[in-house]
Amino acid sequence: MDDVAAWKQIEGWREDPSSVAILTDIDGTLAPIVPTPDLSEVPGELLGLLRELSGKYLLVAGISGRKTQDAFDLIGLDEVVYFGNHGFEILRDGEVEVIPDALPFLERVKELESRAKEELAPLGAFVEEKGITASIHYRNAPPEVGERCVAFVKAEGERLGLRITVGRGVVEARPPIRADKGTAVRALVEEYRPRKAMFLGDDTTDLDAFRELVALRKEGTLEEILRVGVRSDEGPPEIVAEADIVAEDVEGVGEVLRVLAR
């Protein structure tokens, strides 16, 4: 789909908002990337747009690598559905539910976290405690420390039988079961039954969501999809290559949301 056709599709979705799900990553998409996750903030205009869209469209959901509670705290809108920890957790009725298949791996994730604090934190890495997954951030550290973080977490992950992924200034460990932003997208589509759905994202883990939308369309579960990729120097080239619309940073995401709300 070319860019012009994609924007026309968004305009068409405004005519029947009750059939549309708006699914989005948070960090790097709604909130600019910052040195450490605790400094992250979603601009006030985007929060206003999310609130407005939640009142018009079938579903607005934030699907994040953050802990689900952290994702909620960052956006702070009760109207939005929250899937956190790359699809391992969902917030329902004020309670965070962890996928049962992941729970046996909790102690292994905690062990990796503890080892990372001992070995990597003194070098300048930031170890984020996320419960069922672990994230080691090296954005503020020298390049050689980043390389050390990736190598260390990959080795520990292999030893402990965990799945390891590398993103924008971060290496993450999680249980080795299929739970990612793609499975979160599928779960929400199957529950809310939209006919059309979009996902907005900027990083490697968001590609799972892009590709799940394609699969859901091929199956006939969704009639129309849109993939909005946020361009960045650190993001994978596939985000731009696979996107129907390319947004230039968070301001570009705001333009997409404004068109949906118009």
Chain-centroid distance of CA 187 in Å reads 14
Identify each DSSP E strand in 118-248 by its residue range. 126-129, 134-137, 163-167, 170-174, 196-201, 224-231, 245-248
Verify that 184 and 75 share a domain, yes or no.
yes
Closest residue by Cα to residue 9 from 198, 247, 136:
198
CA 138, 139, 141, 146 torsion: positive or negative? positive
Domain interval for residue 234: 3-99+179-261
* Per-residue pLDDT at 130: 87
In this predicted structure, the answer to whether residue 234 has a pLDDT above a threshold of 90 is no
Verify that 119 and 193 share a domain, yes or no.
no
State how far the Cα of 130 lies from the Cα of 199, in Å rounded to an integer: 23
Which of 115, 142, 174 terminates a domain? The answer is 174
Verify that 188 and 81 share a domain, yes or no.
yes
R_g of the chain computed on alpha carbons: 18
CA 85, 90, 96, 98 torsion: positive or negative? negative
Which of 174, 204, 224 terminates a domain? The answer is 174
Verify that 51 and 128 share a domain, yes or no.
no
**Residue 3's pLDDT band (boundaries 50, 70, 90)?**
confident
CA dihedral 82, 28, 186, 44 (to 10 degrees): 40
- Report residue 207 as tokens: 């590609």
Q: Is residue 176 packed enough to be buried (19+ CB in 10 Å), middle (13-18) or exposed (0-12)?
A: middle
**Residue 211's pLDDT band (boundaries 50, 70, 90)?**
very high
Catalytic one of 2, 3, 16, 25: 25
Mean pLDDT of 177-201: 96
In this predicted structure, the answer to whether residue 150 has a pLDDT above a threshold of 80 is yes
227 Cβ partners below 8 Å, 6+ apart?
198, 199, 210, 213, 242, 243, 244, 245
Mean pLDDT of the chain: 93
CA dihedral 13, 15, 21, 25 (to 10 degrees): 60
Mean pLDDT of 188-210: 96
3-state secondary structure of 168: coil
In this predicted structure, the answer to whether residue 1 has a pLDDT above a threshold of 80 is no
Number of domains in the chain: 2
Verify that 189 and 144 share a domain, yes or no.
no
Verify that 16 and 38 share a domain, yes or no.
yes
Does the pTM exceed 0.75? yes
Mean pLDDT of 237-254: 95
Catalytic residue at 78? no
State how far the Cα of 183 lies from the Cα of 38, in Å rounded to an integer: 26
33-85: per-residue pLDDT in tens? 877 777 788 999 999 999 999 999 999 999 998 899 999 999 999 999 999 99
* Per-residue pLDDT at 262: 86
